[in-house]
Structure 1
């Protein structure tokens, strides 16, 4: 019996097994690192969305003639209202202004109707509605909240007015209109 050959074979098998264990450990380490990176990305996205997720809007029944915009965050936010009317291709953006923290804005749809072009006013003057809001958060990220409630990063509307680029005169700020009501929200400061 040649013990030297058997010892060499056994040593080779032990070395191969050691390499297999090392490879398996490496695969597990890579998966753990990928999971940690994925979790970190989810946490970063949640942190990025924190303020925007606390800003919502809806219409008040019975005739949906008032749009309510609520900023439940602890930071002010700059908001444009994307207005729809008539057909799916019609629309424009109006500069609402800087909405203070913990604030509700009651925006009559009569203010939204001011952007309907004169040539279409007779046909659509009473049908303007808030289709989305575009907001800029405290970290200067832009977000779009759609009428359906979806929140997406970036501008998801045509941006026909350009309020965030500084092309809007201050007098166009809807918050300055006498029939737009700005009210404090209760319980907002407890949102953490």
Structure 2
């Protein structure tokens, strides 16, 4: 009888150990899934404002640069330009023209005539120009720096832009400022 009791106790202990191991394995899977979801949510949150800021060029020649901030927070922006050689070498440019504050929920229509002659020429694709328009570099409300290309691509900026100043195109004569509708925290 003692032998049978010892065998039954051993079997019960082994089954109990197996159930505990399976439970621990499942708990680890759930924790890993939660961590992965948390990382995804954090990445989305980091990009939330940046994903709502865009830049493009309009006009047949083109004639204007359009900057739109559909977020509820202001951002600090720079027009980013590069030489043709830098673009061929896939180097990130080191030339910035401060445009100042991109007000919340606002579209700025900036005439290219507000830019210097070399910078104006950078917006005319296919023509030889000393510089080429790269995109909009901006600092979001969290202090993160981003580069938005005219194609719509968005990536974290890994270079140093000049410090913020007091310049803002939103207050400049000749810059059309339009309020945008439907600006919210959710993209």
Secondary structure at the aligned position of 1:23 is classed as helix
Choose the corresponding residue for 1:67, options 59, 65, 68: 65
Partner of 1:21: 19
Is the CA contact (8 Å cut-off) linking 1:73 and 1:188 kept in structure 2?
no
State how 1:1-192 maps to structure 2 within 5 Å: 3-87=1-85, 88=87, 92-114=95-117, 124=129, 128-129=132-133, 131-153=134-156, 155-156=157-158, 159=161, 162=162, 165-166=163-164, 170=166, 173-175=168-170, 177-185=172-180, 187-189=181-183, 192=186
Q: CA RMSD in A?
A: 2.7
User: Unaligned stretches of 5+ in structure 1?
Assistant: 117-122
More helix by percentage? 1
Superposition deviation, residue 63 in structure 1: 2.5
Residues 66, 20 of structure 1: alpha-carbon distance in 2 compared, 3 angstrom cutoff: same
Task: Give the total of aligned pairs.
Answer: 173
Report the secondary structure of 1:104's partner residue: strand
Give the Cα separation in 2 of the matches to 1:45 and 1:33: 18
Counterparts in 2 of 1:37 and 1:19: CA distance versus 1, 3 Å: same
- Matched-pair contact (CA < 8 Å) for 2:103–2:170: no
Q: Check the 8 A contact 2:70/2:184 in 1, yes or no.
A: no
Does the Cα contact within 8 Å between 2:101 and 2:169 map onto a contact in 1?
A: no
- Structure having greater relative contact order (Cα 8 Å, sep ≥ 6): 2
Offset of 1:181 from its aligned partner? 2.5
Structure 1 pair 156–180 and aligned structure 2 pair: CA distance change class (3 A)? farther
Q: Which runs of 4+ in 1 moved over 6 A?
A: none
Report the TM-score, using the length of structure 2 for normalisation: 0.77
Give structure 2 stretches of 5+ with no counterpart.
120-127
Corresponding residue for residue 120 of structure 1: none
